[in-house]
Amino acid sequence: MSPLVAAVAGARQPLERSTLLRSLGLVLLGAIILYLVSGALGDYDRLQLATGAYYFAALAGLTVLIGWSGQISLGHGALMAVGAYTVALLIGDNDWSVLPALVAAVVVSCAVAAPLGAAASRLRGPYLAGATLAVAVGLPALADRFPSAFGGSNGLTINPPTPPSWLGANFSLEHWEAWIACAGALVVLFVLYNLTHSGVGRSLRAVRDDEIAASLCGLRIGRLQTLTFVISGGCAGLAGALLALALQLAQPDAFPLELSLSLLTGVVLGGLGSLTGAIWGAAVLVLLPSWTNDIASSLSLSQNVGDNLPFAIYGVVLIAAMLVWPSGIQGGFMALRRLMSTQRRKAG
């Protein structure tokens, strides 16, 4: 055994044992990649990267809630709105700086998610979906109901976060926004990776698979599910806060029911319950609409067809993806890998 291999093997052992070390390694790897990527991209693609990062934060929270705790939520778009309005009110009206405003957004959205989670832990299946649906429809409407506080349908605008001066005069606003959003996404990755690879994660899986057996083992089901809902809501709140920073805007039209549904789409399409799947889901939510628009506009169709074609293509792609990869993109990759390893074993 060469010394290099031995060294690598030696390094693998503590990595395999400690979840914390592994998650830190992942975050570091992600940070390096995102640093390099954001440096190579143009300003518009940096904004797309920021969009992908906040979608990831929301999707990762939701995928843990649905895939690990077995609870469905159609209300995460509304929790994003809570985060976005918190940031807009704190930065826009009260001149808070970015970091405390983001922390406050997470705290506020967790606080809003707590009673929802407590109610949600008592509901199952379609009833839970219905209750969270009501939140998705009702909560953003508060902005219209109280226009003096929330700006009505005009929304609240905030000044863009200025990049710190040590980054140089040529460091663009979009670059800085991408960094903030990516940092937020990495924090979410760190928290959720540790959550799912801990005792809580195992308990959650036990509850999801058989509630009666789990409670016989002494697990407190309601408390576990509420906890997951709150953490997941905090992730959605952070995502909304990052959205508000990237767009410098919190506005009710940004949080329609469709947002909650497309989050669910992203989770299922990426691969339910998988943080890797959340990355795929975020990539799909960002790239697919711009691809469908490009396809539609390159066909030079009549206006009525061309304007509506992107939505039709989007629908067709979703249907096709669900037929080809019923367990999501990540599930598809896993199946492919299993297939390849059995082939190799046969050949060997």
Partner 1 sequence: MRYSRMSRVGLALVAVGLVSALVATSGYSSSSGGSTAPGVTATSITFGTHQPLTGPAAPGYSEIAPASQAYFDYVNAHGGVFGRKIHLIIKNDEYDPTLTVSVVHQLVLQDNVFGIFEGLGTPTHTKVVGFLNASKIPDMFVASGCPCWDNGTTQPYTFGWQPNYTIEGKILGQYIKQHFAGDKIGVLYQDDDFGNGGLAGIEDEVPASSIVSKQPYQSGTTSLATQITALKSSGAKILVEFTVPIYTAIARLTSYTLGWSPQLVVSNVGIDPITLAGLLKVVSKGKVSGDALIDGAITDGYLPSFSDTSNPWIKMFLKVKAKYDPSAPFDGNVEYGMANAYTLVQALEAAGKDLTRQGLVEAVDKYGDSWRGPGLVPFRYTKTEHGGYGGVQLAKVVGSSIDPFGPVLTTPPSAGSPITSYTGGQPAPPVNGIPSD
Q: What percent of the chain is helix, strand and coil (3-state, nearest 5)?
A: 80, 0, 15
Round to whole Å and give the CA distance between 268 and 265. 5
Rule CB under 8 A: say whether 292 interacts with partner 1.
Answer: no
Nearer to partner 1, 12 or 122 (CB): 12
156 backbone dihedrals φ, ψ, rounded to 5°: -115, 130
Figure out which of the listed residues 97, 153, 198, 341 binds partner 1, where binding follows CB under 8 A.
Answer: 153
Total residues found in the chain within this entry: 348
Instruction: With beta carbons less than 8 A apart as the criterion, state whether 229 and 116 touch.
Output: yes
Rule CB under 8 A: say whether 154 interacts with partner 1.
Answer: yes
Binding mask 66-105 for partner 1 (x = CB under 8 A): ----------------------------------------
Nearer to partner 1, 48 or 225 (CB): 48
Q: Sign of the CA dihedral 233, 141, 246, 328? A: positive
Rule CB under 8 A: say whether 133 interacts with partner 1.
Answer: no
How many other C-beta atoms can be found within 10 angstroms of the C-beta atom of residue 332?
16
Region 107-126 residues binding partner 1, contact defined as CB under 8 A: none
Instruction: With beta carbons less than 8 A apart as the criterion, state whether 73 and 232 touch.
Output: yes
* SS3 track for 207-242: HHHCHHHHHHCCCCHHHHHHHHHHHHHHHHHHHHHH
Answer left, alpha or beta for residue 70, where phi above 0 means left and psi between -120 and 50 means alpha: left
Number of residues this chain uses to bind partner 1 (CB under 8 A): 54
Rule CB under 8 A: say whether 343 interacts with partner 1.
Answer: no
249 backbone dihedrals φ, ψ, rounded to 5°: -155, 135
Rule CB under 8 A: say whether 43 interacts with partner 1.
Answer: yes
Beta carbon of residue 252, minimum distance to partner 1 (angstroms, whole number)? 8
Figure out which of the listed residues 6, 7, 11, 16 binds partner 1, where binding follows CB under 8 A.
Answer: 16
Instruction: Using the rule CB under 8 A, give the single segment among 24-32, 207-215, 313-321, 340-348 that binds partner 1.
Output: 24-32
Tokens of 211: 């509630």
Binding mask 230-259 for partner 1 (x = CB under 8 A): -----------------xxx-xxxx-----
Instruction: Using the rule CB under 8 A, give the single segment among 27-35, 74-82, 91-99, 130-138 that binds partner 1.
Output: 27-35
Report the interface residues with partner 1, using CB under 8 A: 12, 15-16, 22, 25-26, 29-30, 33-34, 36-37, 40-45, 47-49, 51-52, 144, 147, 152-155, 157, 174, 189, 193, 197, 247-249, 251-254, 275-276, 279-280, 283, 293, 302-303, 307-308, 310-311, 330
